[in-house]
């Protein structure tokens, strides 16, 4: 959304910018005017009056210009495509980092003589990292499904390692559970961003 007060590229004269907006975009700015810099909101009101969208500032009290309350959501909706892509890329970086953990475990298994398990973990890592990079570059159902499937496989493997045989502390189990919750959250959020 243009002209947001949180934008790093702020302008002080909004006349030209507001004039470039179509009527629907201008109405959206009017609805969310409290989120904008005061100068931008005033210029939006002025532009709307010039176009005949509103006749006075009192018209902004009508239901069609009431601002929708921002709700706290587990998966916030992002209107701006550029910001959605930044969030997707950020989550993909986290998924990429999570993929380094099986690589470490694979190397440990190889050095301890368990060749088959070590090689499987390294192959898993390569596929996970490749899918993460693919998802970083662009949303792909194949990359998403690959990561989701690998995530489920690794969850089964992790649960087997943690509970059979017993011996891991509660904190070890808690950390693994939290890691999988973060991975699941990231994957679900990426899918919701790209509907």
Is the pLDDT assigned to residue 118 strictly greater than 60? yes
Can you tell me the mean pLDDT for 20-30? 88
- The answer to whether the beta carbons of residues 106 and 118 sit under 8 Å apart is yes
Structure token digits, residue 170: 């509660």
- The answer to whether the beta carbons of residues 95 and 147 sit under 8 Å apart is yes
Q: pLDDT tens digits for 128-144?
A: 999 999 999 999 999 99
Can you tell me the mean pLDDT for 97-109? 93
Percent of the chain at pLDDT exceeding 70: 91
Q: How confident is the model at residue 1 (pLDDT cuts 50, 70, 90)?
A: very low
Is the pLDDT assigned to residue 5 strictly greater than 60? no
Report the pLDDT value the prediction gives residue 35, as an integer from 0 to 100: 81
Burial classification of residue 192, based on how many CB atoms lie within 10 Å of its CB (0-12 exposed, 13-18 middle, 19 or more buried): middle
Report the pLDDT value the prediction gives residue 169, as an integer from 0 to 100: 85
Is the pLDDT assigned to residue 148 strictly greater than 90? yes
Q: pLDDT tens digits for 53-92?
A: 888 888 888 887 776 665 778 888 887 788 899 999 999 9
Report the pLDDT value the prediction gives residue 138, as an integer from 0 to 100: 93
Report the pLDDT value the prediction gives residue 131, as an integer from 0 to 100: 96
Is the pLDDT assigned to residue 10 strictly greater than 80? no
**Whose CA is closest to 60, among 36, 27, 25?**
27
């Amino acid at each position: 959304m243009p002209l947001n007060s949180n934008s790093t590229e702020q302008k002080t004269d909004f006349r030209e910018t507001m004039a470039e907006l179509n009527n629907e975009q201008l109405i959206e700015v009017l609805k969310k005017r409290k989120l904008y810099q005061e100068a931008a909101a005033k210029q939006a009101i002025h532009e709307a009056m010039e176009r005949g969208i509103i006749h006075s500032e009192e018209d902004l009290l009508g239901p069609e210009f009431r601002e929708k309350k921002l709700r706290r959501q587990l998966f916030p909706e992002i209107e701006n495509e550029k910001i959605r892509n930044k969030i997707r890329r950020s989550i993909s970086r986290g998924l990429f980092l999570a993929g380094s953990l099986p690589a470490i475990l694979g190397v440990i298994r190889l050095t301890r003589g368990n060749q088959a398990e070590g090689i499987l973990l390294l192959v898993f890592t390569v596929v996970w990292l490749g899918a993460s990079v693919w998802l970083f570059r662009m949303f792909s159902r194949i990359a998403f499904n690959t990561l989701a499937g690998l995530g489920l496989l690794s969850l089964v493997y992790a649960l087997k390692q943690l509970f059979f045989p017993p011996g891991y502390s509660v904190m070890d189990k808690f950390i693994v559970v939290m890691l999988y919750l973060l991975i699941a959250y990231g994957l679900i959020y990426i899918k919701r961003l790209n509907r």
